[in-house]
Structure 1
Amino acid sequence: MIDKQSPIPIYFQIEELIKKQIADGILKPGEALPSEREFADMYGISRMTVRQGINNLVQQKKLYREKGRGTFVSWPKIEQPLSKMTSFTEDMKSRNMEPGSKLLSFKTTKADEPIAKVLAVEEGTPIYAIKRVRLADELPIALERTYIACELAPHLTADTLNHSLYSYFERTCGYSISDAEQTIAAVLADEEDARWLTVPAGSPLLAIRRQTRLEDNRVLEAVYSHYRGDRYHFVTKMVR
């Protein structure tokens, strides 16, 4: 409730009220907020005061605006530490989120020159080309393209992709995964990104390329992912 007799500014009370409704699950990620007029009428305060409280939450990334549509609750950002190598499935489970994926394509093809170079195989080598939308609690997080030499996983099937690939490689194939090299860059969403990640074209994304190696130094996979910039960020610990 709003206490007009309190020394705490009303706009700040509006902020705290909305944040509590988000924390309690009354307002859910992606859900539209009532209009400024509805808030003002509900609590008997001015629209300007409501607007100030909402503007502060937009600046804090708790809310976001879409032109012509209104103000919505932001999705919480997912942190991934850069110091530890995990699969997407492991990463989501560690955050008590339900990992998932939507398989867009799974085919065998021949490695072109750029992919062959990253996989350290000859051009024309048979490879799996996999395209998936990665989900967390059924919400799209990333559009991912994975390339694997067929000889490393001759029995890979579409059903396998419903589970952690790293678990499959380690438990079924018996591989020991050593390390990965990962590069991160900022890009803007194209039409395909926008379609599958449910963001407007031109939205900021994190473009990530990962090259994973086995203990014997063979390249296991090359993964190219576009992560939603509003839902994912990376953290690293630095010491001097």
Structure 2
Amino acid sequence: MLEEQNVIPLYRQLMEQIEEKIRQGVYRPGEQLMTEIEMSKAFGVSIITVRKALKELVEKGLVERQQGKGTFVAKKKFSKNLSQTLNFTQMCHLAGVTPGGKMLENTLIFPDKKLAAKMGISQQDRVIYIKRLRFANDRPIAIEENYFSLSYAKLLEQNFDNNSLYDFLDKEYHIRIAYTKKKIEICRANKEEAKLLHVMEEEPLLLITSMAYTEDDRLCYRGKQLFDGENFALYV
């Protein structure tokens, strides 16, 4: 129960108690909290006090109010700093989460007109196509597709479930990505993408297309990443 005689306002006492339970993991990300009425009865305070406490928690990014559904503990978002040239594995390590992956395809394809133009090749020139589902702490975060020229043929012999493409390029070809050019868009999840990312079909996704270049300004690959916007944030 809260202490009415305490110099700390009741709403702040309530806010701090909820915040502490979130920090301790008693209330887990995505978990629904008690309703305002239930919370009012449980802590012996008014609805106004409860709403003020929840408002503070929303502003701190610890809880989320969903219209018609209730109040939920905010999910920790995985983030990408666009001002840095970091691969997925490096981003995970910086965020303190464990990276993972499942290779869905590693094959040769003929590029469409747009891809061929971007890569400066003919549509008759086959390219290496690698598609992976990427995880952070075993949670599906992104669908990643990369296109390489046949000069990187050794990629076809590899399994990149939990291995870094960047590390392989560095080790086998002595290539490091110096910079990338990115384009960011919003798209809608199709049936396959929704199934892989555990989201609803037609749910908004963040689409990042990129061109990665080596230190001598040569194109290394063209990439495409689809992120679940609910669990991912971009910043610069």
Which of the five TM-score ranges fits, normalised by the shorter chain? Answer: 0.7 to 0.9
Which residue in 2 is equivalent to 1:225? Answer: 225
Which residue in 1 is equivalent to 2:116? Answer: 116
1:87-102 correspondence to structure 2 within 5 Å:
87-102=87-102
| Amino acid in structure 2 at the alignment position of 1:135 | F
Check the 8 A contact 2:103/2:160 in 1, yes or no.
no
For residue 191 of structure 1, report the CA deviation from its aligned partner.
4.1
Q: Which runs of 5+ in 2 are unaligned?
A: none
2:166 matched to 1:166? yes
Query: Cα gap change, 1:190/1:59 in structure 2, threshold over 3 Å: closer, same or farther?
Result: farther
For residues 64-92 of structure 1, the C-alpha deviation after alignment (integer angstroms, 9 at most, x for no partner) is 35566543222223343323211100111
1:46-125 correspondence to structure 2 within 5 Å:
46-65=46-65, 70-125=70-125
Check the 8 A contact 2:128/2:153 in 1, yes or no.
no
Which residue in 2 is equivalent to 1:139? Answer: 139
Which residue in 1 is equivalent to 2:184? Answer: 184
- Normalization by structure 2: what TM-score? 0.83
CA distance in 1, matches of 2:173, 2:213: 14
146-155 or 61-70, which moves further after superposition? 61-70
172-181 or 58-67, which moves further after superposition? 58-67
CA distance in 1, matches of 2:194, 2:55: 26
Query: Cα gap change, 1:235/1:68 in structure 2, threshold over 3 Å: closer, same or farther?
Result: closer
| Amino acid in structure 2 at the alignment position of 1:234 | L
Query: Cα gap change, 1:231/1:113 in structure 2, threshold over 3 Å: closer, same or farther?
Result: same
152-161 or 12-21, which moves further after superposition? 152-161
224-233 or 194-203, which moves further after superposition? 194-203
State the SS of the aligned residue for 1:156. helix
State the SS of the aligned residue for 1:39. helix
Over aligned residues, Cα RMSD in angstroms? 2.7
1:3-14 correspondence to structure 2 within 5 Å:
3-14=3-14
Query: Cα gap change, 1:122/1:206 in structure 2, threshold over 3 Å: closer, same or farther?
Result: same
1:37-48 correspondence to structure 2 within 5 Å:
37-48=37-48
CA distance in 2, matches of 1:92, 1:152: 26
State the SS of the aligned residue for 1:14. helix
Q: Percent identity?
A: 30
Which residue in 1 is equivalent to 2:175? Answer: 175
CA distance in 1, matches of 2:60, 2:189: 23
Query: Cα gap change, 1:57/1:124 in structure 2, threshold over 3 Å: closer, same or farther?
Result: farther
Query: Cα gap change, 1:196/1:47 in structure 2, threshold over 3 Å: closer, same or farther?
Result: farther
Query: Cα gap change, 1:43/1:172 in structure 2, threshold over 3 Å: closer, same or farther?
Result: same
State the SS of the aligned residue for 2:154. coil
CA distance in 2, matches of 1:226, 1:74: 22
Q: Which runs of 5+ in 1 are unaligned?
A: none
71-80 or 59-68, which moves further after superposition? 59-68
Which residue in 2 is equivalent to 1:28? Answer: 28
For residue 122 of structure 1, report the CA deviation from its aligned partner.
1.7
CA distance in 2, matches of 1:191, 1:12: 45
CA distance in 1, matches of 2:2, 2:157: 57
For residue 148 of structure 1, report the CA deviation from its aligned partner.
1.9
CA distance in 1, matches of 2:36, 2:225: 38
97-106 or 150-159, which moves further after superposition? 150-159
For residue 132 of structure 1, report the CA deviation from its aligned partner.
2.4
For residue 55 of structure 1, report the CA deviation from its aligned partner.
4.3
Query: Cα gap change, 1:201/1:57 in structure 2, threshold over 3 Å: closer, same or farther?
Result: farther
